[in-house]
């Protein structure tokens, strides 16, 4: 599935990703990734092979994902976009996990990804759904800069909001689906989004082994309809699909 390059990032065109990274380099020396570049490249190549054996994506989509992973790896030397220990297995730990969440999303015209960080799952969703607009909400300025650079480089139909989730009501009100991965507890997430979404808005939140505890805590303060999708990648992890969210 190929992103439509005629539908550019809805923000004003940003400087090239290379110039943006160079600007960061002037204020921050590159940090060690904790692994030799050649060894990291070898491990990522092996990880990519495992990914392509499991996931059937088009050549165009794989090319876009390759470019994204390359940028993620490059910019990781300036900021923590993902946990350093997961960079060698970025395809299985992050790309596959994001694709798994994306597969549960219904057709939509506008979506919002909260706490986008390094673009997982928001950038992956934008790559897989070029016909949709994806709002990427990320309060850390340098990570927002990275997201804009990726969106510009790949021609994604996104809008990056460099603000906190609670200040992103406009983006949430426009969105039919809302996603989040490793952002906050379920109770906290519902408190952030509920003032801005409708009963029809569907939320997809990736959660780990403690999801049942989080659900129980959230039900003390919130009413919601819930579907639980088990992870095919990590035992005990799930994707929670919620709708009709309202406070008790």
The verdict on whether residue 165 carries a ligand-binding annotation is yes
The verdict on whether residue 2 carries a ligand-binding annotation is no
* Tens-place pLDDT, residues 135-164: 999 999 999 999 999 999 999 999 999 999
pLDDT band at residue 29 using 50, 70 and 90 as cut-offs: low
The verdict on whether residue 176 carries a ligand-binding annotation is no
The verdict on whether residue 54 carries a ligand-binding annotation is no
- Map out the domains of the chain with their CATH numbers: 17-247 (3.40.50.150)
pTM above 0.85, yes or no: yes
Residue by residue, DSSP assigns the chain as ----TTS--SSPPPPPHHHHHHHHHHHSPPPP-SS-HHHHHHHHHHHHHHHHHH----HHHHHHHHHHHHHHHHHTTTS-SS-GGGGGGHIIIIIHHHHHHHHHPPP-SEEEEES-TTTTTHHHHHHH-TTSEEEEE--SHHHHHHHHHHHHHHT--EEEE-S-GGG-HHHHHH-SEEEEESSS-HHHHHHHHGGG--TT-EEEEEE-TTHHHHHHHHHTTEEEEEEEEE-SSSTT-EEEEEEEEEE-
What whole-number percentage of the chain has pLDDT above 70?
87
* Tens-place pLDDT, residues 90-124: 999 999 999 999 999 999 999 999 999 999 999 99
The verdict on whether residue 115 carries a ligand-binding annotation is yes
């Amino acid at each position: 599935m190929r992103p439509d390059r005629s539908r550019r990032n809805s923000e004003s065109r940003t400087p090239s990703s290379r110039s943006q990274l160079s600007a960061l380099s002037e204020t921050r020396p590159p940090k060690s990734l904790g692994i030799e570049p050649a060894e990291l490249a070898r491990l990522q190549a092996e990880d990519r092979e495992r990914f392509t054996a499991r996931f059937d994506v088009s050549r165009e989509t794989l090319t876009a994902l390759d470019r994204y992973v390359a940028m993620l790896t490059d910019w990781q030397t300036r900021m923590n976009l993902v946990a350093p220990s997961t960079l060698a297995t970025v395809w299985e730990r992050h790309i596959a996990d994001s694709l798994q969440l994306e597969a549960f999303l219904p057709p939509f015209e506008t979506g919002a990804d909260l706490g986008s960080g390094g673009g997982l799952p928001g950038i992956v969703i934008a790559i897989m759904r070029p016909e949709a607009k994806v709002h990427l909400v990320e309060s850390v300025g340098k990570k927002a800069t990275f997201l804009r650079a990726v969106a510009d480089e790949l021609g994604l139909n996104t809008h990056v909001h460099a603000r906190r989730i609670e200040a992103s009501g406009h983006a949430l009100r426009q969105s039919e689906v809302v996603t989040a991965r490793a952002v906050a507890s379920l109770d906290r997430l519902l408190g952030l989004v509920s003032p801005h979404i409708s009963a029809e808005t569907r939320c997809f939140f990736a959660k780990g082994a403690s999801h049942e505890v989080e659900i129980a805590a959230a039900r003390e303060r919130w009413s919601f309809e819930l579907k639980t999708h088990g992870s095919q990648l990590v035992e005990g992890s799930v994707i929670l699909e919620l709708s009709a969210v309202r406070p008790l």
